[in-house]
Amino acid sequence: MAERLQKILSQAGIASRRAAEKLIAEGRVAVNGTVVTTAGCKADPSQDHITVDGAALQGQEEKVYFLLNKPKGYISTAHDERGRKTVLDLLPEVAERIYPIGRLDNATEGLLLLTNDGVLMNSLLHPRYEVRKTYLARVQGIPTAEELDGLRQGIELEDGLTAPAQVRLMEQDPKRNVSKVEIIIHEGRNRQVRRMCTAIGHEVIALKRTEFAGLSLSGTARGHYRRLTDMELEHLKMLAGIRA
């Protein structure tokens, strides 16, 4: 049955639908040897030969799931046109075509999930599931109680008011004029935690995501990765409303 090309790529675990639309627009997808640049184009994966960057679509590829403790200096994408290091460089033994679930910017470290399961990826990123993300931010200065309350209530950014966050002042060092703040959010805006802290007058010096969707970095060293356990995968699918 013919379906939109971006949906086919997403279901095959190639990329999220939004990322798939970008792949198509960049001319990296071909159907039966013809490059397609229109996202609304339809194809039948059971009959049509679909390739991405010249590689045939592997719709029946075994689904794999990894947790990575991302260090700074790596881009959270599967491909970078400028030749910068990507998170996939940290998983050289993985043969499957995997993609990160969401993104951490180049300067942010911490927990990042990667998979070729497009359905799970899209579900965990969908706003309706409100998947929790916990960050530890080292910021310049010491936020006041009023400033922290502003984050808890929601703060105005250039792209709108943020949802209420859970916030705790973890450490403060008056001599160095720095502090550590734990921030838990469920939105996924670009560089959101950094912008939230800037909005209350405290620039982020260092940022680490310590938890995502109930999973933590416990036992996984910086720059290392591991497969998710069956129990962890079951938990994620339950959060994403995916039935076994």
Question: Cα–Cα distance between 78 and 87 in angstroms, integer?
Answer: 7
Active site residues: 105
HEC assignment per residue over the chain: CCEEHHHHHHHCCCCCHHHHHHHHHCCCEEECCEEECCCCCEECCCCCCEEECCEECCCCCCCCEEEEEECCCCECCCCCCCCCCEHHHHCCCCCCCCEECCCCCCCEEEEEEEECCHHHHHHHHCHHHCCCEEEEEEEECCCCHHHHHHHHHCCEECCEECCCCEEEEEEEECCCCEEEEEEEECCCCCCHHHHHHHHCCCCEEEEEEEEECCEECCCCCCCCEEECCHHHHHHHHHHCCCCC
